[in-house]
Structure 1
Amino acid sequence: MTAPVDVSLIVIVVVITALVFDFTNGFHDTANAMATSIATGALRPKVAVLIAGVLNVVGAFLSVEVARTISSGLVDEARISPVVIFAGLIGAIIWNLLTWLLGLPSSSSHALFGGLIGATVVAAGLGAVHFGAVLSKVILPAIVSPVLAGIIALTATYLAYRTTARADSGTVTKGFKAGQIGSASMVALAHGTSDAQKTMGIITLTLITAGVLSPDSGPPFWVILSAGLAIGLGTYLGGWRIIRTLGKRVSEIETPQGFAAEASTTAVILTSSHLGLALSTTQVATGAIFGAGSGRRLAAVRWSVARQMVVAWILTLPAAAAVGAVAAWVASAGTVGIVLVAVVAIALAAGIYAVSRRRPVTADNVNDVGDDAAVAHEPAVPAR
C-alpha cells in the first residue's frame, strides 16, 4: 500500500528529476550529432557541442507529437501517480550515467521507457502498461530504425565515393567538411525535436496524473522551454566518452562518410518525429555510422564494438525497468521512501562521476585513442 505524499511537493520533485534526466540525455547523446564531425575535423570539439546545444533548444519547439505519445500512449495515466514517474526517471538516469561511464551509446529514450514501465508494473500491475503501444511505437521502431539508417548511409557513402572518384581529393575533403557542418547541425536540430519531447511528455504525464492538466493535454509552453534548455545545456557539456566511441572506435571516418551518416540520421529522425514515433536517436545515429563505415571500400569496421552496443541496447529496457521497479517499491513508503531513493541515486551518480575522473575524456583528447587498449588490440574487419 502506498503511503500518502503531498501532491504539490512530489510534482515539483518529479519535474526537477525529469529535467535532470533531460540533462543527462543531452550529454549522453551529443555524440549522435557531432561525433563524426569532430572525428573528421570538420568542427572543433567545443564549437561542435555549442552548435549542438543551441540547436537542441530550437528543435524542442518544432513538434510535440512524440511528447503526446509518451504522455498518453504507453501507460494508463489514470492508474499511476507522480511517485511512479519519479521512480521511473531514477531508473533512466542511473542507466544513462552507467553507460556514459562505459562509453556505450545506449538509448536514453529506452532507458526512460524501461524505467517508467518497471515502476508502473510495481505500482499498478501489468494491466496498466499498454504493451501494444510499447511494441508498435517503441520496440519495432528500435529494431527497424538503425537497420534502415545503416542501409541509407551505406548507399549514400557508396554514391559519394563513386561520384567524386576522379575529383581532387583535397577539394572533396574540403567540400564534405563544409557539408558536415550543415548535416551535423540538422542532426542536432532533429535530436532536440525528438529527445527533448520525451521529457516534455513525462512532465506532462505527471501533471495529468496530479490532476493539473486534463487527459490528452499537450505540454504547456513552460514545459517545452525548460525541457529544451535542460537538454541543450547537457549537450553543450559534451559526452566526450561516447563521442570517442562513435567517432573513433567504430571506424576511421572520412568526411564523405561523416556527411552520409549525418544526413541519413537526420532523415530518419525527422520523419519519425513527424509520425509521433519515439525513436532512439542513439540507435539511428549508430546504425548510420556503421552503414557509412561499411560503404567505403576497404574501410576498417570494428564489428565487435557493434556487438557491445547491441548488448547494451538489449539490456537497456529491462535494466532500467528493474531499477525503476525497485525505486517504485521503496518510494511507495511515502516521503521517507522518496527521500531514500533520491539519496541513493545521488550517491550512485557521485560514485560514477568519481570513477570517470580516473581516466577523463575531454575535448582535448576525444580524438586520441592510442592509449585505449580495447581499441588498439581490437581487430578491424575491412568492408568489401
Structure 2
Amino acid sequence: MDFFLGMFTNQAGIMLMIIIVLALGFDYINGFHDAANSIATIVTTKVLTPFQAVLWAAAFNFAAYFISLYIIGEFKIGNTIAKSVNENFISLEVIFAGLVAAIIWNLLTWKLGIPSSSSHTLIGGFIGAAVAHAGGFAPGGVDVIVYSKVIPIFLFIFGAPFLGMILAYFITVGIMWICRNSNSHKCDVWFKRLQLVSSALFSLGHGGNDAQKVMGIIGAAVIFYHVNVDMDPSYLVEGVDTFKVFVEHWWWVPLASFIFIGLGTLSGGWKIVKTMGSKITKVTPLEGVAAETAGAVALYVTEHLGIPVSTTHTITGSIIGVGVTKRISAVRWGVTINLLWAWVLTIPVSAIIAMVVYYLIHAIL
C-alpha cells in the first residue's frame, strides 16, 4: 500500500497509474469489439439470444485466466508484447501514446462495424510511439523494434486466418462425411448443442490470447518504472526475466486484465456480429461448430508458441473455410477483401496515430 501511495508523489508514478487505467479501458473496449468473434455464429444460428451469448462468452473469457495460470503456467503472449520494442526506447510517454492510438483505432473500427485486430492496433501503437521517441527506426545503428518478436506477429496477420481457414475446411469436410447418412434434423439439433461447446472453446482462446496483450503493455510500463524510477533491485538482477518478476509482484494485473475483457465481451459489439455472422457467408450450426473449433485450435497453438495473433483474423479465416466447402462463390469475397485491407492497414495506421499523439504530448508538456 505504501508503494502505491508513494507513486502519487511523483510525475512518473501518476503517469504509470494513468497508463494502467487506460490499458484496462482498452481491455474493456477489446472485449466488446471482439465479442462478435465467439458469439456471431451462435447468435446467427439462434442457438442463444444475444444476451445469453455474450454472458456465455464473457464467462469463458475470464475462465481462461485459470488455464493460463494453473495449466499453461505462464503468460507467454504478455511477455512477447512487453518485449516487442527495445527497452532502450521505451518510456511511459511511449506506452501512453501507443495506448491512446490503439483506443482511437479500435473505437473507429467498432463504429464502422469493421472487425479489425485489437492486438495489432496495440502493437502498431506501441511500435509507432517508440519509433517517434527514438527519432527513427535504427538510431545509431540500434534497432527500435525487436524483430524476433515482431516478425512472427506480422506473418500471422495472414498466417492466423489461413490456418483457421484450412482447419475449418477439413473439420467441416470430416463432419459432413461422418454425418453423410444421418437424419438432417437430428444432426441440426445436435450441432446446435455442440455450438455451445465450440463457442466456449473459442472464448477460452480469445480470453487467453487477448487479455495477455494488455498485461504485456502494463508490464512494459511497470518494468520501466521499477528499473528507471525507483531502481527496484528485484528488476535489476542480471539475467532475470523481468516480466516474470512483474507477474509475481503485480499478481492483480493478470486477474484484472481477464476480468475487464470479460466485462467488455458482456457489453457486446452488435455491428461486428452482423458482419461476422452473415455478411461473409451464411453459417449453419454444423459450420458454426467447425469454424469455432478451428479458430480455437489455432488460438491454442499460437498461445503455446507465444505468438500474439488476432482472434478476429482467426475466426474470419475459419468462417471463410466453412464457406468454401459449399462452393467458392458462397463466400462474399468483396466483404472479405475489405476486411483484408483493414487488417493490412491496422498496424501502420495505428503507428502513425501513435506518432502524432507522442509529438502532441511533447508539444503540450
Q: Give yes or no for the alignment of 1:21 onto 2:47.
A: no
Q: Give yes or no for the alignment of 1:89 onto 2:94.
A: no
- Provide the C-alpha distance between the structure 1 equivalents of 2:172 and 2:78, rounded to a whole number of angstroms: 33
Identity across the alignment (%): 39
Amino acid at match of 2:116: S
TM-score (norm 2): 0.87
Provide, for residues 158-214 of structure 1, a one-character-per-residue CA deviation record: whole Å limited to 9, x for no partner: 222232222111101001001100000111111111000000011011001112672
Q: Quote the residue 1:179 is aligned against.
A: 194
Instruction: Give the match's secondary structure for 1:332.
Output: helix
Pairwise CA RMSD: 1.5
- Provide the C-alpha distance between the structure 1 equivalents of 2:89 and 2:331, rounded to a whole number of angstroms: 47
Provide, for residues 266-320 of structure 1, a one-character-per-residue CA deviation record: whole Å limited to 9, x for no partner: 0010111111111111111110011011113587221111001000001100110
Q: Give yes or no for the alignment of 1:163 onto 2:163.
A: no
- Provide the C-alpha distance between the structure 1 equivalents of 2:189 and 2:327, rounded to a whole number of angstroms: 20
Q: Give yes or no for the alignment of 1:145 onto 2:145.
A: no
CA contact (8 A) 1:115 1:321 kept: yes
Instruction: Give the match's secondary structure for 2:242.
Output: coil
Moved more, 105-114 or 299-308: 299-308
Q: Quote the residue 1:372 is aligned against.
A: none
Instruction: Give the match's secondary structure for 2:309.
Output: coil
Q: Quote the residue 2:41 is aligned against.
A: 36
Q: Give yes or no for the alignment of 1:270 onto 2:297.
A: no
- Provide the C-alpha distance between the structure 2 equivalents of 1:37 and 1:204, rounded to a whole number of angstroms: 35
Q: Quote the residue 1:345 is aligned against.
A: none
Gaps of 5+ in 2: 1-9, 69-74, 138-142, 236-240
Task: Give the 3 Å change call, closer, same or farther, for CA 299–156 of structure 1 in structure 2.
Answer: farther
CA contact (8 A) 1:68 1:201 kept: yes
Task: Give the 3 Å change call, closer, same or farther, for CA 59–180 of structure 1 in structure 2.
Answer: same
Provide, for residues 30-65 of structure 1, a one-character-per-residue CA deviation record: whole Å limited to 9, x for no partner: 111111111111222111100111111121343311
Q: Give yes or no for the alignment of 1:318 onto 2:348.
A: yes
Instruction: Give the match's secondary structure for 2:342.
Output: helix
Displacement of 1:79: 2.6
Residue correspondence of structure 1 range 249-328 to structure 2 within 5 A: 249-297=279-327, 300-328=330-358
Residue correspondence of structure 1 range 1-384 to structure 2 within 5 A: 6-63=11-68, 64-72=75-83, 74-124=84-134, 125-126=136-137, 127-136=143-152, 138-211=153-226, 214=235, 216-218=242-244, 219=247, 220-297=250-327, 300-333=330-363, 336-337=364-365
Amino acid at match of 1:307: I
Moved more, 202-211 or 57-66: 57-66
Task: Give the 3 Å change call, closer, same or farther, for CA 204–298 of structure 1 in structure 2.
Answer: closer
Instruction: Give the match's secondary structure for 1:211.
Output: helix
Amino acid at match of 1:322: I
Instruction: Give the match's secondary structure for 1:128.
Output: coil
- Provide the C-alpha distance between the structure 1 equivalents of 2:45 and 2:282, rounded to a whole number of angstroms: 9
Task: Give the 3 Å change call, closer, same or farther, for CA 307–34 of structure 1 in structure 2.
Answer: same
Amino acid at match of 1:18: A
- Provide the C-alpha distance between the structure 1 equivalents of 2:314 and 2:303, rounded to a whole number of angstroms: 13
Equivalent residue pairs, number: 329
Task: Give the 3 Å change call, closer, same or farther, for CA 61–87 of structure 1 in structure 2.
Answer: farther
Amino acid at match of 2:111: L
CA contact (8 A) 1:92 1:111 kept: yes
Q: Quote the residue 1:352 is aligned against.
A: none
Amino acid at match of 2:287: Q
Instruction: Give the match's secondary structure for 1:60.
Output: helix
Amino acid at match of 2:155: L
CA contact (8 A) 2:157 2:343 kept: no
- Provide the C-alpha distance between the structure 2 equivalents of 1:299 and 1:31, rounded to a whole number of angstroms: 24
Task: Give the 3 Å change call, closer, same or farther, for CA 288–280 of structure 1 in structure 2.
Answer: same
Provide, for residues 326-362 of structure 1, a one-character-per-residue CA deviation record: whole Å limited to 9, x for no partner: 11111124xx55xxxxxxxxxxxxxxxxxxxxxxxxx
CA contact (8 A) 1:60 1:192 kept: yes
Gaps of 5+ in 1: 338-384
